[in-house]
Amino acid sequence: DTAVSQTPKYLVTQMGNDKSIKCEQNLGHDTMYWYKQDSKKFLKIMFSYNNKELIINETVPNRFSPKSPDKAHLNLHINSLELGDSAVYFCASSQVRANEQFFGPGTRLTVL
């Protein structure tokens, strides 16, 4: 299936731990994104990469570090997890400046 995929779907961890979320798209897009959706359903852009180059870097704690090994993959590493990091994290992809962004299924992160 052509899609945006994320792993894991659920992630439960303790405060202070380090974790990663992986994202892959096989749509041939050149731009990928990370979004955070909080408990009130507010969806906010965190990062965007175009052809492995960082083009959007919102005000996000530097504990969050995106990595794009190639244009089909965008991973998110989070250090020293905090309670407030609990949210659903969505990966998305698009062609650069295209109207439609395609979202992955989301990763529900719970920090205890």
Contacting residues toward another protein, per CB under 8 A: 31, 33, 40-45, 48, 50, 55-56, 90, 94, 96-97, 99-101, 103-106
The least CB distance from residue 87 to another protein, in Å, is 14
The least CB distance from residue 14 to another protein, in Å, is 24
CB–CB of 60/47 below 8 Å?
yes
Strand partners, 111: 13
Phi, psi for residue 29 in degrees, rounded to 5: -75, 160
DSSP-derived secondary structure letter, 99? S
The least CB distance from residue 82 to another protein, in Å, is 22
Please say which residue, 18 or 38, places its beta carbon nearer to another protein.
38
